[in-house]
Amino acid sequence: LILFNGSNVKMKFLLLFFILILFSCSNEPVNMEEVLFERSNQYITKDNFSPYFFFNQKVYNGPAYNKYRSGEKKEQGMLKNGYKTGSWTGWNREGVKRFTGEYKEGKEDGIWIGFHPNGKKKYEGKYANGLQIGTWVYYDSKGKKELQESYNDFGRVINPK
């Protein structure tokens, strides 16, 4: 191979560097409280994130989760450029789903559905840029519609029913 003829040290170093990056990247979710810190709603890697200094103190990209103090998983989803992005799911301490919803650049954005501890739907509505918009419907623990509210584009209730 031309790369390994002994005269091209830079090429050897680059190949080793890319192999190191390839094998050090993982799609395993990280515990946000252990290896990340929050700054202005953006998650940054702590100094203990990786043994390779160039991965530390950077905005995090990839799967992540939070846990309750008692150890149960609280929520899980993706971070992109350090912000919660895409679909996130949350659970109560007993492991029952509490919500599913979308984030965009760290703010609620898209359809959100909440659940009672018995698994029945508690609410359903839409967020835009962190504000409730459109029609939100709330249900009692038996699944019966309790309340319906409409929100304007500024997150203000315009006609509760």
Using one digit for the tens of pLDDT, what is the confidence trace for 107-153? Answer: 999 999 999 999 999 999 999 999 999 999 999 999 999 999 999 99
Q: How many CA atoms lie within 13 A of 88 on its CB side?
A: 27
Q: Answer yes or no: is pLDDT of 96 > 80.
A: yes
Cα dihedral 104, 106, 108, 113 sign: positive
Look at residue 93 in the predicted model and tell me its pLDDT: 95
Nearest CA to 29 out of 63, 73, 75 is that of: 63
Kindly report the average pLDDT of the chain as a whole number. Answer: 84
Q: pTM of this prediction? A: 0.76
Look at residue 1 in the predicted model and tell me its pLDDT: 46
Distance (Å, whole) CA 21 – CA 52: 10
Query: 107-110 — which CB contacts under 8 Å span 24+ positions?
Result: 107/41
Bridge-based pairing state of the strands 30-31 and 62-67: parallel
Using one digit for the tens of pLDDT, what is the confidence trace for 28-65? Answer: 888 888 888 888 888 877 766 555 555 556 888 999 99
